[in-house]
């Protein structure tokens, strides 16, 4: 595929619809960051580490609060799985000559169509767990046997190789199921039934999609840097007024929000549009109907 051509077409599409695409991206990203904001506001983990570092006993109430808050974060993360569909809906309208249908309500697609979307997103997550985490656990068990047998050096080398392989396997699996949510948007497939056609569409195109993602890597690094800088700027003066833990909490939350705003107003609409064009190119080349 001509990745430069895809990105150029994405830039032109965004430039024609910048206002609506930026607003939709901003709302979707802010909604998607809710679990992260809640996690940033959870200072129980910091208290546990601080108590343990001081050689003290971790208070049962602190542990209980940590388990409860962690469970809430997990539940919120699961509930928010389909929230990104808003960007897919919005960019597909832009790419398929339906720009007149684009509106701010696209940002709420993941909420309004939650019942329709959730199983496909859950299937995607379960697929990644089954084909990445399960093999990792099995291989880790073998490494443990090597350590038990006294082969520590071999086990260490095996663990390093295993770590690299798991990363490669995870990336490959993420790329393999990339089209699932697009197939869902076009009502061509859904749920676990979208896995097979997604994998077929991606056959021989993994490296191209990876290159497309990597072409935006500097933007992701800049987003992370901005998040860290904002968090530090906010937290450092506050730590003398409200304490280290609360200052870090407010700093992390502010940094996350700032980084999301940065992404929405800079590269994210173009990235999402590029991915949508990439999917359309896959469908054109496949000439298959699902």
pLDDT greater at residue 166 or residue 211:
211
Q: How many whole angstroms separate alpha carbon 182 and alpha carbon 82?
A: 12
pTM of the model: 0.84
Average pLDDT estimate for 200-221: 95
Note whether residue 135 is domain-resident.
Answer: yes
Note whether residue 184 is domain-resident.
Answer: yes
Confidence band of 237 (pLDDT split at 50, 70, 90) = confident
- What's the whole-number average pLDDT of the chain? 85
Specify the range with the lowest mean pLDDT, choosing from 71-75, 120-124, 176-180, 193-197. 71-75
Average pLDDT estimate for 5-16: 95
Q: Is the model's pLDDT at 74 over the cut of 80? A: yes
Report the candidate in 171, 173, 183 with the shortest Cα–Cα distance to residue 276: 183
Q: Is the model's pLDDT at 289 over the cut of 50? A: no
Average pLDDT estimate for 87-116: 94
Q: What is the per-residue pLDDT for 133?
A: 78
pLDDT tens, position by position, 104-148: 999 999 999 999 999 999 999 999 988 887 777 776 776 676 667
Give the residue carrying structure tokens 């099995």.
138
Note whether residue 228 is domain-resident.
Answer: no
Note whether residue 209 is domain-resident.
Answer: no
Domain that includes residue 129, residue range: 116-203
Q: What is the per-residue pLDDT for 146?
A: 65
Q: How many whole angstroms separate alpha carbon 142 and alpha carbon 38?
A: 37
Q: How many whole angstroms separate alpha carbon 270 and alpha carbon 70?
A: 34
Tokens of 211: 């290159």
Note whether residue 125 is domain-resident.
Answer: yes
Confidence band of 71 (pLDDT split at 50, 70, 90) = confident
Which DSSP helix (H) or strand (E) runs through 154? helix 152-176
Average pLDDT estimate for 252-279: 95
CA distances in angstroms from 126 to 93, 129, 210, listed in the order given = 29, 5, 21
Q: Is the model's pLDDT at 162 over the cut of 80? A: no
Q: Do 38 and 73 meet the contact criterion of CB atoms below 8 Å apart? A: yes
Tokens of 185: 């948007």
Note whether residue 231 is domain-resident.
Answer: no
Note whether residue 38 is domain-resident.
Answer: no
Q: Give the helix ranges, DSSP H, for the chain.
A: 3-16, 18-32, 34-40, 44-53, 60-79, 85-95, 109-112, 114-128, 134-148, 152-176, 180-185, 195-201, 206-214, 217-242, 244-265, 268-286
Q: Do 94 and 17 meet the contact criterion of CB atoms below 8 Å apart? A: yes
Q: Do 270 and 12 meet the contact criterion of CB atoms below 8 Å apart? A: no
Q: What is the per-residue pLDDT for 247?
A: 78
Q: How many distinct structural domains can be found in the chain?
A: 1
Confidence band of 251 (pLDDT split at 50, 70, 90) = confident
Average pLDDT estimate for 268-286: 94
Q: What is the per-residue pLDDT for 116?
A: 92
Note whether residue 39 is domain-resident.
Answer: no
Confidence band of 62 (pLDDT split at 50, 70, 90) = low
Q: Is the model's pLDDT at 92 over the cut of 90? A: yes
Tokens of 61: 């109430």
């Amino acid at each position: 595929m001509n990745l430069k051509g895809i990105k150029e077409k994405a830039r032109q599409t965004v430039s024609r619809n910048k206002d609506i695409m930026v607003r939709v991206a901003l709302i979707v990203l802010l909604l998607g960051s809710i679990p992260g904001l809640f996690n940033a506001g959870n200072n129980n983990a910091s208290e546990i580490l601080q108590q343990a570092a001081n050689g003290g006993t971790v208070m049962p109430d602190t542990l209980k609060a940590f388990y409860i808050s962690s469970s809430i974060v997990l539940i919120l993360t699961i509930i928010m799985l389909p929230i990104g569909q808003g960007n897919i809906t919005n960019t597909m309208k832009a790419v398929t000559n339906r720009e007149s249908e684009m509106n701010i309500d696209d940002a709420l697609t993941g909420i309004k169509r939650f019942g329709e979307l959730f199983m496909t997103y859950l299937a995607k997550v379960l697929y990644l767990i089954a084909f990445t985490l399960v093999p990792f656990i099995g291989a880790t068990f073998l490494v443990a046997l090597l350590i038990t047998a006294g082969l520590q050096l071999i086990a260490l080398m095996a663990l390093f190789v295993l770590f690299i392989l798991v990363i490669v396997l995870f990336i490959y699996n993420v790329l393999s199921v990339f089209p699932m949510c697009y197939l869902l948007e076009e009502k061509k497939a859904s749920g676990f039934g979208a896995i097979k056609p997604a994998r077929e569409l991606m056959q021989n195109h993994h490296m191209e999609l990876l290159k497309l993602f990597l072409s935006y890597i500097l933007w992701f690094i800049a987003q992370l840097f901005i998040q860290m800088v904002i968090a530090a700027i906010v937290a450092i003066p506050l730590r003398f007024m409200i304490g280290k833990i609360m200052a870090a909490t407010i700093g992390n939350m502010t940094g996350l929000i700032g980084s999301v705003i940065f992404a929405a107003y800079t590269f994210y609409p173009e990235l999402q549009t590029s991915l949508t064009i990439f999917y359309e190119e896959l469908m054109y080349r496949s000439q298959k109907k699902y």
